[in-house]
Amino acid sequence: MYSVTNTLLRGTIDSIPAKAHAHRALICAALAPTPSTILLSRTSRDIDATMDSLRALGADITYKQQIVTVNPGPPPAVGKILPHESGTTLRLLLPVSASLCDTVDVDAKGRLPERPLEPLLSEMKRHGVQFSKNAPPFTMKGLLKGGDFNMVGDVSSQFFSGLLLAAPQLGHTAITSTTSLQSRDYVTLTLTTMADFGITVEHQEATAAQNETFTINDMSTFVGRNHYQIEGDWSNAAIWMVAAAMTGESITITGMNPDSVQADRRIMDIISASGATITWNGSNLTVSGRATTPLTIDLDQCPDLLPVLSALACSISGESAFINGARLRLKESDRLNAVAKLVSDLGGTVRQEGDNIYITGTGSLTGGLADCVNDHRLVMAGALMALISTNPVRLKDSEAITKSYPDFFTDWNLLAGSATEVY
């Protein structure tokens, strides 16, 4: 457990690699017929889960001196997916592994077996794959076949991304969204990464006569890349951007891409609208000045930002509104309930109305014990709330941070923070 004391964070911090980008690049590299090298300055438990799973699907992967070397290999007779608690690893690799191996054993830990896999499993069944049961751990049998896939867009964009990554191994394949596509930017990131590795996907926008469709033609083949750079992570840069906006101190994050297609790049607009100032110097981003304007955030396209933005809302006088958060109930925790409880436990004022959450900020909290419910993003939020808390914030389940940001507390203290491990 870590205890975080009220201090003013300031200074410069390096961005960490974008986890969403790394997952996709590693998979593309493993599916190419030629080797790749990927520049990855840090790893995490989720990224490690994808690398371990790709090794169990036949790739030779080494990570040394911030470079991942991927040598594709023939798929084994029986493949494995070893996602630990990474929902991204599981959902992306279910169709990918079934495109490679006739039999795949699928593991899962923590809350992952409870997270939704339908209608992905039903579509995979319709295309030749059988499952020993409907929730992992399970065994898949039968190679995935190409053709026409129909998928709802309001459960998980990762269903689309997984099918897109599998499609080049299947021959001509079309994937149609039967509803509006939520978290669309993650699908865009998949398409962009696939294009970087040689795959062009034909995208037809939705019209009155036809739903949105993604088509991959015959003879599509991934190609290896040399020294492929993983972008800086906007989801985790948001921590430091929020910290600066909460206190008015300046924090600079290096190695960011202002033109990224990552969903959480929206944090730039949110921080600016709150009253803080963003400036750029090349790829270095600086946030300065305090946020003073309450937030109104539609979580439909950026649900992962809710926890850190809840801390920002507590620092701003007035009521902030976060709407359309239904899918947050399906994350590592029920994040709507978990965020509401976190705010309340640390002395804030919060209410829920259906899938919306409203936080009335006063600029200060009391602090105390924060139950992070084994959710890495709740650890981040609890630490940020310590910046405006009278008493230290003790983060129960703080080890969950290794899922995405193992060096979080080290980086926190590099910015003049005060985070100490307690027993």
Interval 283-299: pLDDT, tens: 999 999 999 999 999 98
Residue position matching structure tokens 């809302």: 313
Contact 337, 344 (CB under 8 A): no
Q: Quick check: 102 pLDDT over 90?
A: yes
Residue % of the chain over a pLDDT of 90: 86
396 labelled as ligand-binding? no
Determine the Cα–Cα distance for residues 175 and 119; give it in Å rounded to an integer. Answer: 13
Interval 112-147: pLDDT, tens: 888 889 999 999 999 999 999 999 999 999 999 999
335 labelled as ligand-binding? yes
Core vs surface per residue 114-152: b (16+ CB within 10 A) or e? ebebebbbebbeebebebeeebbebebebbbebeebebb
Q: Which amino acid is at 161?
A: S
Rounded to 10°, the helix 157-166/184-196 angle is 20
Residue % of the chain over a pLDDT of 70: 99
377 labelled as ligand-binding? yes
Long-range contacts of the stretch 158-161 (C-beta < 8 A, 24+): 158/87, 158/88, 158/91, 158/92, 158/186, 159/91, 159/119, 159/120, 160/187, 160/190, 160/214, 161/24, 161/91, 161/92, 161/186, 161/187, 161/190
Q: Find the mean pLDDT for residues 195-224.
A: 89
CA distances from 281 to 17, 252, 254, 275, 285 (A): 19, 10, 9, 20, 7
Predicted confidence at residue 334, as pLDDT, reads 86
86 labelled as ligand-binding? no
Predicted confidence at residue 332, as pLDDT, reads 67
pTM of the model as a whole:
0.92
126 labelled as ligand-binding? no
Class of residue 291 by CB neighbours under 10 A (exposed 0-12, middle 13-18, buried 19+): buried
Quote the mean pLDDT of the chain: 94
Q: Which one of the listed residues 46, 48, 264, 304 is annotated catalytic?
A: 304
> Which residue, 125, 216, 112, 103, is CA-closest to 156?
112
Q: Find the mean pLDDT for residues 250-261.
A: 96
Domain spanning 19-216 has what CATH number?
3.65.10.10
Interval 15-38: pLDDT, tens: 999 999 999 999 999 999 999 999
Determine the Cα–Cα distance for residues 20 and 46; give it in Å rounded to an integer. Answer: 10
184 labelled as ligand-binding? no
Q: Quick check: 73 pLDDT over 70?
A: yes
52 labelled as ligand-binding? no
Residue 300's pLDDT band (boundaries 50, 70, 90)? confident
133 labelled as ligand-binding? no
Residue 301's pLDDT band (boundaries 50, 70, 90)? confident
Residue 360's pLDDT band (boundaries 50, 70, 90)? very high
Going from N- to C-terminal start, the domains of the chain cover: 2-16+234-421, 19-216
109 labelled as ligand-binding? no
Sign of CA dihedral 206, 303, 329, 294: negative
Residue 220's pLDDT band (boundaries 50, 70, 90)? confident
87 labelled as ligand-binding? yes
Q: Find the mean pLDDT for residues 382-397.
A: 98
210 labelled as ligand-binding? no
183 labelled as ligand-binding? yes
Predicted confidence at residue 36, as pLDDT, reads 98
Pull the structure tokens for residue 118. Answer: 């339908």
Q: Looking at domain 2-16+234-421, does it have CATH number 3.65.10.10? A: yes
Interval 315-352: pLDDT, tens: 999 999 999 988 787 666 788 999 999 999 999 999 99
Contact 421, 1 (CB under 8 A): yes
Contact 46, 25 (CB under 8 A): no
Interval 145-190: pLDDT, tens: 999 999 987 778 899 999 999 999 999 999 999 888 777 899 999 9
Q: Find the mean pLDDT for residues 216-244.
A: 95
Q: What angle do CA 244, 249, 254 make, to 5 degrees?
A: 60
Same fold, 2-16+234-421 and 19-216: yes
Predicted confidence at residue 208, as pLDDT, reads 74
Report the 10 Å Cβ neighbour count for 63: 15
Predicted confidence at residue 69, as pLDDT, reads 98
304 labelled as ligand-binding? yes
Predicted confidence at residue 142, as pLDDT, reads 97
Lateral strand order in the sheet of 103-106: 78-81, 103-106, 138-141, 130-131
Say whether 185 is catalytic.
no
